[in-house]
Amino acid sequence: MATQYYEINALELAKIYQSHCFESLHANWLTHLEPFLSIKGMTFLDIGAGAGRDAKFIVENGQQPKVVAVEPVSSLNRLGQAYTRDLSIDWYRDQLPCLYTVKKHYEQFDVILVSSVFNYLDEHASIQALLTIRNLLKPKGLFIVKLRHCNDNAELKKRGLVNIEAVKLTEMAKNADLVCEEITVSEADAQGRHHTTWQTILFRPI
């Protein structure tokens, strides 16, 4: 994963990430998450946690949830920890496709949220990442993938991004015993970038 851009711009990016409301960013799939937030003691894994916005929302809106946040960019990880320092969130500097550190400490989760991470993985790594996630997902769990679609080559290069189509990812997920429950329609970028749209895929384990 290309991290240099994010290390250099971590403070500015953290301010942007934290300025957006979880409910508005994720409005088109929030109903799938709400049942897990309403049950006491659910476990959540936020991969690509950035500066902690989503992990913070889950802790504050769940019923005594266990939340683990994973962010490989050291500067963003530190900023996320500072942002959520009064909350019960376990932070790790780990990354897909293997999540070695997370697997040492935890067995499985009820909900796994992966924000944009597949946009930094090639096909081989994506397949490996899906297998890792399937092994970490409880039998009745929910796996949420947020994908970024970008049509600006300069932006892709700057951030080390690759485009991956939702249908392609769902096909790969079948080999990891993950079934697609819903693919949301493309949504505009919250920062107003005309070259970028977002899409969310919801998976359940087979």
Count of Cβ atoms closer than 10 Å to residue 52 Cβ: 28
Q: Render pLDDT for 66-122 as a digit per residue (tens, 0 to 9).
A: 999 999 999 999 999 999 999 999 999 999 999 999 999 999 999 999 988 999 999
Q: Phi/psi of residue 51, each to 5°?
A: -105, 20
CB atoms within 10 A of CB 151: 11
pLDDT (tens digit per residue) in 139-169 = 999 999 999 898 878 877 888 888 999 999 9
Q: How far apart are CA 41 and CA 177, in angstroms?
A: 26
